Amino acid sequence: MHLPFWLTTALLLPVLLYQGKRAQQTTPRLPEGSGPSSGQYGEGTQTKRILVVGESTAASVGVATHNLGLASQLAKQIHQRTGQTTAWHTFGINGIRLRALIDELAKAELPRADVVLLSMGVNDTTGLTSRYRYREQLVAIRQLLAPRYCGPLVLLSVPPMHLFTALPTPLRHVMGWRGRQLDRLYASLARQHPGDFTHLNYPVITNPTLLAPDGYHPSEKGYQYIAEALAHSATKVFN
């Protein structure tokens, strides 16, 4: 139990609840990306298959279509860097928490993949999911994916919520604090079980032109920026 965090949250609770409600009311709610949720770059037999699952970033919120979102842009980067025919598939639901995502994935028909990335954490941060339960759920989603994927699950770090311009202070900093706690859980799992998990840093976005109109999700340029950073920092994972 992280006593300082919970004491701070309890002391600020009336302010945090008010700011959270106001943020929901005033922040534009952008739709998920439309169009095909899969595709490929290059011709012929697929050499590399990338699957992204998770919350709003996996759902391509912030751009009009999935081919402008994270999975597609990452596959494009891998194809450009390696020359390999690279397929992509994305499965995301805006606003979902990890427990509910596991239930949805259990019903979904997903392709086999060579690399699977989990983009989660924001909604479990705002929902104050306990670290113990979150860890259990990470283990459960890895087990669920095992029949179609044998490599380590790539855990994209929880986005730096203390930098989200759509959130006021102190809500922004409290949520950032909680997000960093969940992210340390990712790093711990990757150290303890390297065959099952890999931790990959989510690039920090400070340039407002890389954000969608809600000041919360990546724009088209933002997804390109994230994909370039991930492809550059995770050569071993994607090769």
CATH number of the domain to which 60 belongs: 3.40.50.1110
pLDDT at 236 over 70: no
- The count of structural domains within the chain is 1
Residue 11 maps to a domain: no
pLDDT at 233 over 80: no
CB atoms within 10 A of CB 10: 9
Report phi then psi at 48, rounded to 5: -130, 135
pLDDT tens for each residue of 53-63: 999 999 999 99
Three-class SS state of 5:
helix
Kindly provide the residue ranges of all beta strands, DSSP E only, lying in the chain, ordered along the sequence: 38-41, 48-54, 86-92, 115-119, 153-156, 197-200
pLDDT tens for each residue of 143-181: 999 887 878 999 999 988 888 877 889 989 999 999 999
Strands 38-41 and 86-92: antiparallel
Residue 107 maps to a domain: yes
Q: Which residues pair with 86 in a beta bridge?
A: 41, 48
**Structural domain span for residue 176:** 40-238
Q: Which residue has the higher pLDDT, 15 or 150?
A: 15
Q: How far is CA 35 from CA 91, 92, 119, 127, in A?
A: 12, 13, 20, 30
